[in-house]
Chains A and B, each alone.
Chain A
Amino acid sequence: MNGSRQGESPSLVEVTGLCVEFGGLRAVDQLSFRLEGGAALALVGESGSGKSTVAAALLGLHRGTGARVGGSVQVAGIDVQRASDDELRRLRGGGAAMVFQDPLSSLDPYYAIGDQIAEVYRVHARGSRRAARARAVEVLDRVGIPDARRRSRSRPHEFSGGMRQRALIAMALACEPDLLIADEPTTALDVTVQAQILDLLHALREETGMGLLLVTHDVGVAAESVDEVLVMRHGRTVEHGPVGAVLGAPAQSYTRELLDAVPRVDAPRAPSAPAGEVVLEATGLRREFGRGKRAFAAVDDVSLTIRRGETLGVVGESGSGKTTLGRMLVGLLQPTAGEIKPGGGVRPEVQMVFQDPVSSLNPRRSVGESIADPLRARGEPDEGRVRGRVRELLERVGLEAAHYDRYPHEFSGGQRQRVGIARALAADPRVIVCDEPVSALDVTTQAQVVALLGELQRELGLALVFVAHDLAVVRQASDRVAVMRRGRIVESGPADEVYDNPQDPYTQQLLAAVPALDPGLAARRRAARREPAMV
């Protein structure tokens, strides 16, 4: 089934003048690129840049959806625009296979993983059920699923996130495609698992010689994985070239801007003012969830101090208990054991900035009303004073005073996060706990919000607790760092010490897994990772 297309077209992928429109909205505009067999190209861009739309267009997934597609797309010798439905079906999975972002929702929850892979295999290679099942076990084994025969009978929810993504990659491998399209394949995964998946993709490419088209918002992931980069913005090409050249010496100002905004895990934070007195001290914090046999401690024996004018970074992977810790610090959750003491007698005002800028504002109330909440709740009777203070706060966080009467849906994600910061400030807090404050934002917006928090801290002498999964962002924002794993703090200390000279093996492993922006360094790190066996 792969034979006929050799010689017809020298390139594996050839896209010329691709345009995709959804109901008058142009998502992709005059995009052209080519990808040779066995090569790897990354489409990099922020949300709304149209990169995923391009990936879908390569497999003709817009057919019959009402989207208007123009230009020409050739994949593995097939003209996707003109191909018949049957030809297109043979291309999908047979010639080019796709790996999606969220591995849990991308697999059918009701069927065994092996059966799902076998089903796809049988669409393309008309073998027996038994042969298809054997092939499924074979590819599951190849992507590193231990005990593949037995695990092939598991359903997706019985797999961990990383294993699911491996299973999806196994599905892609099943029919030996010439091209692998990976749409944000590691975005939903923890950093250590991300490194494993990227290593796997690399090894598979070496072994099978298939081409890779990687779609990602993360420049680091691109640097790790590909030979060529195409930077996209508003559906158009900004810059296209070898990965070393584009990332090392970007020619376009947007590319430079993007690269500057990417937080570096190896760059120390600009020195901040010396920390002041202790404002909050937590000792032996523990929080359990569930009862009886299913009880587990999300946070277990955590002690920390928070000082005036200082940022404490709390970093950990999913399930490490960092969010639970943050919620206990502000008083949204009561600790099962341990206590939180004020540094100087009275309990300081502690406020929170939330992760999701969509759900953290009541959609039915104007942002001004939301910000005014703490003022009204403490009984400020003078309406004029309330409005005046809210306007002042809006301007302080970089919005306009006239935004008082607007509703949350009229703002972008970054602006909403600014509103959330203004609301926290309205209570005149001495401590603000920021729970993943920038993880839902694009990198350029991320950098702006982190900078704003820093400014406010210097100006108001705030103590900040910065909770995040992204090691680089935490370093950018923090003076001191605590690394959490399974509810405990495994290592803590000044940020530079922890990052430059990690003592705990888990911290070392975390830091080794962070994608490097320099492709050469990335390759050296990959080689180093290959030696010790990963968990």
Chain B
Amino acid sequence: MSEALVATQAAGTGPALPAASGARQFWRRLWTQRAALVAAAVVALLVLLALAAPLLTAIEGQDPTTYHPSLVDSARGGVPVGPFGGVSGDHWLGVEPQTGRDLFARLVYGARVSLGVALTATAVQVLIGVVVGVAAALGSQWVDQVLSRLTDIIVALPLMIMALALLAIVPSNFPRPLLVALVIGLVAWGNIAKITRAQTLTLKGLDYVSAARLSGWSTWRIARRELLPGLAAPVITYAALLVPINITVEAALSFLGVGVKPPTPSWGQMLTAADVWYQAAPQYLLLPAGALFVTVLALTVLGDGVRTALDPRAASRLRVGTGRRQEAKATAPVATEGAS
């Protein structure tokens, strides 16, 4: 029951009110964050690299799947021939031990797989999560009970374990990267459904939604016009944080040998055997590990940046060094509020 709120209180902090943002303000806020900008540039570069993989390998004159037995020394267990693990004008980053496949080609095609799988999985998660969350919040009490319980179970099931187990039973003729993406998407939509439900309930309680109901609009129209735009910010924020997680999960599954299977290249899969070769061909370990690290780091920083840009109030407390400034505002709340 909200009653008797008084003069000075109402001006400042309401419920989780969506800021009067709009796309332009979002970009402006993102623009002011140096770290996020650098991260965005790195992500853009990675996406470009992945998209241009066929072109780049064509320039190099290689492809990711051809074996080059002549480039590895089978007498010594398959160590690449030549300095630095077989680096040459033909093979810019050397070749894979044992098989002699071109490392550069496998790395850039691996980026395709990593980003493709992660983005597809995120799309699946967002789709299921938003539909379930909105349905739970707007549906009858019974629908809400069932969907919330289901969401709880999905959250409780460990993603890696379920993905591992599911990958065991699906027939092997299904395209593997798509399968991995679908499995990750189907198993890990719980948190996004929870966030969506909570935000929808908050929005539903806001007076402007009540006002829209009094105007005579249908429920569907209210959901579309008044609720969905308010969901965009939290959903985008969480989705941005999901992408790097999905990249890690894909790499982990492939590392365990149940994700993307050879001959399709994947960074995680490249690391499976890397520890044996770290002395003879260190770049075989360092390149995919480094690629994973840079990609996940850039996406995480970008995700933080997106959150800051979409919810400056919550994020300003989390940013470096602003703790004290926030406290100042708390002690002088009325100073900057202009009344009519």
Contact = CB atoms under 8 A, between A and B. Distances in A.
A22 B10 contact: no
Contacts of A255: none
Contacts of B216: 374, 377-378, 427
Given A319-B1, A441-B7, A62 B332 contact: yes
Interface in A204-248: 217
Nearest to B218: A377
Interface string A57-71: 000011011110000
Contact of B11 (A327, A359, A362, A413): A413
Interface stretch (B12-20, B52-60, B92-100, B144-152): B12-20
Contact of B214 (A56, A66, A330): A330
Interface in A343-361: 351-352, 354-361
A535 interface: no
Nearest to B216: A377
Chain A CB within 10 Å, residue with most, of B4, B15, B207, B215: B4
B325 A66 contact: yes
Interface string B216-232: 11000000001001100
A345 to B, nearest CB: 20
A360 B10 CA distance: 12
A323 interface: yes
Contacts of B15: 359
Contact of B3 (A61, A374, A436): A436
A52 B226 contact: no
Contacts of B208: 359-362, 370
A519 interface: no
Contacts of A441: 7, 339-340
Contact of B333 (A52, A352, A439): A52
Interface stretch (A125-133, A182-190, A388-396): A182-190
Contact of B17 (A101, A323, A358): A358
B316 to A, nearest CB: 13
Contact of B332 (A67, A352, A354, A357): A67
Contacts of A321: 1
Contact of A51 (B3, B207, B334): B334
Contact of A25 (B3, B11, B333, B335): B335
A32 interface: no
Contacts of B315: none
B83 interface: no
B140 interface: no
Contact of B8 (A47, A66, A319, A423): A47
Contacts of A414: 339-340
B77 interface: no
B156 interface: no
Interface string A314-336: 00011111111001001110000
A363 B19 contact: yes
A463 to B, nearest CB: 16
B318 to A, nearest CB: 18
Given A47-B7, A48-B335, A370-B208, A427 B215 contact: yes
B20 A67 contact: no
Nearest to B205: A359
Contacts of A357: 10
B328 A352 contact: no
B5 A53 contact: no
B10 A409 contact: no
Contacts of A364: 18, 20-22, 229-230
Chain A CB within 10 Å, residue with most, of B3, B20, B22, B327: B3
Nearest to A49: B334
A377 B212 CA distance: 9
* Number of chain B interface residues as a range: 35 or more
Chain B CB within 10 Å, residue with most, of A53, A62, A356: A356
A154 interface: no
Chain B CB within 10 Å, residue with most, of A20, A56, A352, A358: A358
B70 interface: no
Contacts of B7: 47, 187, 217, 439-442
Interface residues of A, number: 74
Interface in B296-340: 324-325, 327-329, 331-340
Contacts of B45: none
B211 interface: yes
B202 to A, nearest CB: 10
Given A67-B328, A361-B208, A52 B334 contact: yes
Contact of A356 (B14, B331, B338): B14
B26 to A, nearest CB: 12
B340 A352 contact: no
A67 B332 CA distance: 10
A430 interface: no
A142 to B, nearest CB: 27
B172 interface: no
A62 B211 contact: no
B93 to A, nearest CB: 49
A321 B332 CA distance: 33
Contacts of A50: 334-335
Interface in B93-145: none
Contact of B210 (A102, A217, A352): A352
Contact of B4 (A61, A318, A413, A415): A318
B332 A52 contact: yes
Interface in B1-55: 1-11, 14-15, 17-22
Interface in A57-113: 61-62, 64-67, 101-102
B206 interface: yes
A252 B239 CA distance: 58
A420 B18 CA distance: 19
A413 B340 CA distance: 6
Given A25-B336, A27-B332, A373-B215, A439 B207 contact: no
A295 to B, nearest CB: 14
Contacts of A47: 7-8, 11, 334, 337, 339
A192 to B, nearest CB: 12
A469 B2 CA distance: 12
B211 A423 contact: yes
A506 interface: no
A217 B216 CA distance: 39
A356 B207 contact: yes
B325 A65 contact: yes
A377 B340 CA distance: 31
Interface string A393-415: 00000000000000111001111
A445 interface: yes
A4 B2 CA distance: 49
Given A27-B332, A188-B9, A359 B206 contact: yes
By Cβ-Cβ distance, the 5 closest A-B pairs, closest first, are A65-B328, A412-B340, A440-B10, A27-B335, A414-B340
Interface of B: 1-11, 14-15, 17-22, 206-208, 210-217, 226, 229-230, 324-325, 327-329, 331-340
11 contacts: A22-B332, A22-B336, A25-B336, A27-B335, A53-B335, A56-B331, A317-B3, A363-B19, A364-B20, A427-B216, A469-B4
Given A352-B211, A354-B211, 18 more contacts: A48-B334, A48-B336, A48-B339, A53-B332, A62-B328, A217-B7, A317-B4, A318-B4, A330-B214, A351-B214, A356-B14, A357-B10, A373-B212, A408-B20, A412-B338, A436-B4, A440-B7, A441-B339
